[in-house]
Amino acid sequence: MARGILRAAVSNLCLVLVLSLGAHAYGDPGKDLFDKQCSGCHSVGGGDGGGPDLKGVTDRRAEEWLESIIIEPDKMAKDAARQELIKKYGYEMPNLGISHDDALKIIAWLKSAGGGTAGGATPAAPQAKPVETVVTPELVAKGMALFTGARPFANGGSPCAACHPFRAPGVSGGNMATDLSDHYEGMGEQGLRGVLKSLKFPVMKKMYADRPLTEEESTAIVAFFKDAAAQKRGGWSFDIFPIAGAGFFVFCLAVLILYKRRTR
């Protein structure tokens, strides 16, 4: 009798273990963390976004190195490999306040998803390549209105200009945080989306955690930043355009004249 109960208990225990292992494989905590905190800037096998594609990173880098960059990237900016990455991507990965435990979970998931040790690795879930927002005048205008507060955010967050200055015609902003007008070049679309999604800056987290931007609002803001960056870059190419146009016109004229001469 007692033995029967024991056997039942043991087999139940086994069942629970098997079930929890199974559940573990499906709801991988490392993957959840990655989706929430990292996927705004990184893919695994989907190409570079705001940050490097992390496929195979667990082969490229030592475990301690990975732990440091995930837990306190700001403390290892002098590392030689880091310097190269920062140069390549134009800005530093922010400190996201990841705990040691969570970092280990993420690394474990990266190992299984991103190539890791040869053989036992499951192929990376193919992630869609990040889509680049197509800038239209309407989107830019909407983004600018959202940034300045002329148009309120659907979930009630403050306009960005409440804290950020932005040097663009028709925009004046607050002075509490960095001027964002030079930032887009460095971080690019995925980086900016990453900032808006991960809310790594405490002040912004307070503001937007309960009042998130909608997908369309983020897209409009991205378009506004992109357009401002393009205009800044385009400063001289607009000036040179008429000259290039004139050059082409002269070239056509010359061809036409030569052609006429030959056929005469």
Instruction: Determine which residue in the list 44, 139, 171, 204 makes contact with ligand HEC, applying CB under 6 A.
Output: 204
Is 226 a binder of ligand HEC (CB under 6 A)?
A: no
Instruction: Determine which residue in the list 30, 73, 115, 116 makes contact with ligand HEC, applying CB under 6 A.
Output: 73
Q: Which residues of 160-182 are buried (b: 16+ CB within 10 A; e: fewer)?
A: bbebbbbebeebebeeeeeebbe
Shortest Å distance, C-beta 257 to ligand HEC? 55
Sorted by sequence, the CB contacts under 8 Å of residue 175 that are 6+ apart come out as 165
Binding mask 74-93 for ligand HEC (x = CB under 6 A): --------x--xx--x-xxx
Beta bridge partners of 171: 168
Q: What is the DSSP string of 36-61?
A: IIITTT--SSS--SSS---TTHHHHS
Which CB sits closer to ligand HEC, 22 or 180?
180
Is 199 a binder of ligand HEC (CB under 6 A)?
A: no
Rounded to an integer, what distance in angstroms lies between the CA atom of residue 132 and that of residue 190? 8
Q: What is the CA radius of gyration of the chain?
A: 26
Shortest Å distance, C-beta 237 to ligand HEC? 26
- What stretch of H or E contains 72? none
Is 41 a binder of ligand HEC (CB under 6 A)?
A: yes
Determine how many CB atoms are found less than 10 A away from the CB of residue 72.
Answer: 14
Residue appearing with tokens 């403050």: 158
Which CB sits closer to ligand HEC, 61 or 151?
61
Is 177 a binder of ligand HEC (CB under 6 A)?
A: yes
Is 54 a binder of ligand HEC (CB under 6 A)?
A: yes
User: In the complex, which residues of this chain contact ligand HEC (CB under 6 A)?
Assistant: 37-38, 40-42, 50-52, 54, 57, 60-61, 66, 69-70, 73, 82, 85-86, 89, 91-94, 96, 98, 106, 158, 160, 162-164, 176-178, 180, 183, 191-192, 194-196, 198, 201, 203-204, 207, 213, 221
